[in-house]
Amino acid sequence: MNEPFRDPKGEPVQLDLPEVPARKKRRFPWSLLICAALVALVGAGWLIRPQQQAGPGMRRAFNGPVPVATATVEKGSLPVTLTALGTVTPLTTVTVRSQISGRLTKISFQEGQDVKAGDPLAEVDPRPYEAALKQAQGQLARDQAQLRNAQLDLTRYQTLVAKSAASQQSVDTQEALVAQYQGTVQMDQAQVRTAELNLEYCHIVAPVSGRLGIRQVDVGNYVQAGDSTGIVVITQLKPITVVFSLPEDVVPQVARRLEAKAELPVTVYDRNRRAKIATGQLITIDNQVDTTTGTVKLKAQFPNDDGSLFPNQFVNVDLLVNTMDGAVIVPSAAVQRGAPGPYVYVVGADQTVSVHKVKLGPSAGDKIAVLEGLNPGDKVVVDGADKLREGAQVTEPDAGQTPGQPGRRPGGPNAAAGQGPSGAPGAPGNGQPRRSQAPTP
């Protein structure tokens, strides 16, 4: 701690020192720095302005021809095919049940075995029914003997009445007795037939041809006519059917073809549409529309000789409805859509493109029929149309391709027209119509 100055007597002394002015703090020139940055940004924007892309709704400006891939319009046959999802359904499915009650004494089949109608499957203990049959046959023999005796007595009474040795009342009574015995004999005959049927039902046979499922009951169990599970299930596999649904809008077209006695081929594929399973024929259309889905069920039949179709299997269905002969065909990738509707870019002899409005027809795979707007031999753009406008100059880097086949996508060997960069279906350029900005008329 600093001690104050003192005089010789010890008193504090006040020193009068000159005041030193406070030093002013200098400021950084931020305003100049901000102004310099703004000037630099404006200059940079002015320099790069010619290289910026066009605004929304405008096409990018190109100084030279636009590289495109083209294809030639062809004239040929185009199959009109409808696709759907279907389920394999057997023509016949039978649960084999016992028609009588008794102990199961024999199983004559193997699980999964193919059987024909009439083949033996199982046997119920027949001894009670054999005894019932003999009893019914004995009753029938007794009543038949009584009937014969009554008929002889009736003949005697009729002879005596003719000689006035008996009354007519005795004849009438005997005729009623004969009729009574005749009814009893008929009842006995029915009982004998019933006993014979029960004895026949002891031997269970296959009612239809097909493949057997898993056995539901074992030997030694007591089975009854009312059992719900049954003994085994038989499913008919040859032939077999596939049930699928189509939208109600396309059903009249299919119905007209069926009414004309046309054979409509149906092809089924596996769940992933990778393998073809079988080919059959459409046989019928359901008689009503499903109001919940707006679809109608159709049924196709397949021989299924190789057993490739299995009941309740999920399949993809292709129904060939018709074949357009002499149709004008273009790749689906060539069709563009905009405000005027569907259109294509046609390449002229001077390598400039023009917009042609088209009327589209059915499609099949990556091909589509054009009803109006194009002629066979026209060259259309299938890739690179998003950079074009009316009268634009184009160039074809892969013009050496086979005529009628789309060239490769400009800018890469794997970007072929009609196929995306990965080659997977659904990628851009896979033959599906693409949306783009409406062309400039």
Q: What is the pLDDT of residues 215-263, one digit of tens each?
A: 999 999 999 988 888 999 999 999 999 999 999 998 998 999 999 998 9
Q: How confident is the model at residue 4 (pLDDT cuts 50, 70, 90)?
A: low
CB 383, CB 394: distance < 8 Å: no
**Structure tokens belonging to residue 270:** 């596996």
Across residues 163-174, what is the average pLDDT? 87
More confident residue, 65 or 52: 65
Across residues 33-43, what is the average pLDDT? 79
Q: What is the pLDDT of residue 55?
A: 36
**Alpha-carbon distance 102 to 104, whole Å?**
6
* C-alpha to C-alpha distances, 138 to 108, 148, 181, nearest whole angstrom: 33, 16, 15
Q: How confident is the model at residue 415 (pLDDT cuts 50, 70, 90)?
A: very low
pLDDT in tens, 104-126: 999 999 999 999 999 999 999 99
Report the share of the chain in percent with pLDDT over 90.
Answer: 52
Output the pTM of the full model. 0.62
Strands 102-107 and 93-96: unpaired
Among the ranges given (48-62, 169-183, 298-312), the one the predictor scored with the smallest mean pLDDT: 48-62
Q: What is the pLDDT of residue 163?
A: 85
**Alpha-carbon distance 132 to 138, whole Å?**
10
Based on its alpha-carbon atoms, the radius of gyration of the chain, rounded to whole angstroms, reads 49
Residue 404 has pLDDT above 70, yes or no: no
Cα angle, residue 58 at apex, residues 54 and 60 outer, rounded to 5°: 50
SS (H, E, C) the chain: CCCCCECCCCCECCCCCCCCCCCCCCCCCHHHHHHHHHHHHHHHHHHHHHHCCCCCCCCCCCCCCEECEEEECEEEEEEEEEEEEEEEEECCEEEECCCCCEEEEEECCCCCCEECCCCEEEEECCHHHHHHHHHHHHHHHHHHHHHHHHHHHHHHHHHHHHCCCCCHHHHHHHHHHHHHHHHHHHHHHHHHHHHHHHHHHCEEECCCCEEECCCCCCCCCEECCCCCCCCEEEECCCCEEEEEEEECCCHHHHHHHHHCCCCCEEEEECCCCCCEEEEEEEEEECCCCECCCCEEEEEEEECCCCCCCCCCCEEEEEEEEEEEEEEEEEEHHHCEEECCEEEEEEECCCCEEEEEECEEEEEECCEEEEEECCCCCCEEEEECHHHCCCCCEEECCCCCCCCCCCCECCCCCCCECCCCCCCCCCCCCCCCCEECCCCCC
pLDDT in tens, 336-381: 988 878 999 999 988 899 999 999 888 887 889 998 888 899 999 9
Q: What is the pLDDT of residue 236?
A: 94
Phi then psi for residue 281, to 5 deg, are: -145, 140
